[in-house]
Structure 1
Amino acid sequence: MLLEHSWLFSELPEGKPVLDLACGEDLNGIYLATKGIRITLAGRSEDALTKARLLADPRGAVSQIVCRKTD
């Protein structure tokens, strides 16, 4: 899905963050973070958010993401 809509992110003004609601483990958001886009991951599952952080770390993207648990 991200590849299908990647043009949206090429038009994102520099420095503007992205919000990903109901993100799950969010491989798409982590991919965007590896491209230098700041992203807030929001989801109900603390386990999924923890896994997203763990997946982002070895890719050097953890500094670009913020994880927020929602209700």
Structure 2
Amino acid sequence: MLDLGAAEAAALRAGLEALARAALRRRGYKSFGVCETCMHHVRQAGGAYCALLNLPIAPDDTTRICHEHTISA
């Protein structure tokens, strides 16, 4: 494990925040995230379901990046 000093950790955090902001700008401020955090993700007794695409979601896919991700309200 890498131990960072306070200054290095702060610089890394600032760099990652800048990277995330730049990615959001490039995407027109459209959110991105994993399937299970998307507002279209629906948990059902038989598994997960995408309400936007009207498709069942395989259990392994719920932790993958969702191309149509929308932040839950």
Q: Same fold (TM over 0.5)?
A: no
Instruction: Please report the TM-score for the alignment, with normalisation by the length of structure 1.
Output: 0.24
Instruction: Please report the TM-score for the alignment, with normalisation by the length of structure 2.
Output: 0.23
User: Highest Rg: 1 or 2?
Assistant: 2
